[in-house]
Amino acid sequence: RLVFAPTNVFELLEIAAARDAIAAGRIEARPPIEAPLDVLVQHLVTVALGGGFRPDELLREVRSTYAYRDLSDAEWAWALDFAARGGPALHAYPEYARITEQDGVYRVENDTLARRHRMSIGTITGDATLKVQYLRGPALGTIEESFVARLKPGDRFLFGGKTLEFVRLRDLTAWVRKASERTQAVPRWSGSRMPLSSELADAVRERLEQAHNGELEGPEMRALAPILRLQMKWSRIPAHDELLIERARTR
């Protein structure tokens, strides 16, 4: 059983569209990744941290998974060498020698490397965030590092309704000052740029087409009826072969 918790009115439309797509068997394809060696190297270090491993035993376990079922001996040897000494390119740098072999068992002996690896385990949720603060004033909030990385001193951007001028980046803080000129640059969080899958987008388009024709089936669409009527009053609901571009005038 699935429970949907919409956070805005458009998600009601997405929920109705998702139900249609599921009922029709239109599920987003998820082709499996074949033998990603970077993931394998990280796994070797993780297992070495947990008490160590014997290469032959771990190889059998790795090959029992779908992704690594066809892992070759050469690929395995490359991953093991990369974790042990950084491979041919990085063997001169001690920090890339993450696992060491003793009596046939590979372990992580360096406490610093062990702590660093444990800290990096987990899900990457998005770009790191930086604090935005006036040069002589309070902090204004946080912003994604990827946006700040594109700024040069003197660039202006809109943040929290204020036009700011970027001064410098220091100590994980974007230092800014007030700017008088308006700008078109607006920070956007990476999560807001995630596109709908093609299957869900098609289903949403079909629901919009039904609304365009006055068909509001299901509890979600009936709950959306006032918003859709307002949309038709102020603008229009695009048909399947139309692209809607709206112009808004602010005060």
**Which residue type sits at 181?**
E
In a shared domain, residues 76 and 98: yes
Q: Are the C-beta atoms of residues 83 and 77 closer than 8 Å to each other?
A: no
Question: Which of 190, 207, 232 represents a domain boundary (last residue)?
Answer: 190
The pTM assigned to this predicted structure is: 0.49
Task: Please state, in angstroms and rounded to a whole number, the distance separating the CA atoms of residues 212 and 228.
Answer: 9
In a shared domain, residues 101 and 41: yes
In a shared domain, residues 46 and 116: yes
Q: Are the C-beta atoms of residues 147 and 129 closer than 8 Å to each other?
A: no
Quote the number of domains for the chain: 3
Question: Which of 172, 190, 208 represents a domain boundary (last residue)?
Answer: 190
Q: Give residue 139's domain range.
A: 129-190
In a shared domain, residues 57 and 9: no
CA pseudo-torsion sign 229, 247, 8, 29: positive
Question: What's the confidence (pLDDT) of residue 126?
Answer: 59
In a shared domain, residues 85 and 63: yes
Q: Are the C-beta atoms of residues 185 and 176 closer than 8 Å to each other?
A: no
Pairwise pLDDT comparison (100 vs 91), residue with the higher score: 100
Question: What's the confidence (pLDDT) of residue 148?
Answer: 87
Q: What percent of the chain has a predicted confidence (pLDDT) above 90?
A: 43
In a shared domain, residues 233 and 249: yes
In a shared domain, residues 44 and 115: yes
pLDDT of 7-35, one tens digit each? 888 889 999 999 999 899 888 878 889 99
Question: What's the confidence (pLDDT) of residue 125?
Answer: 57
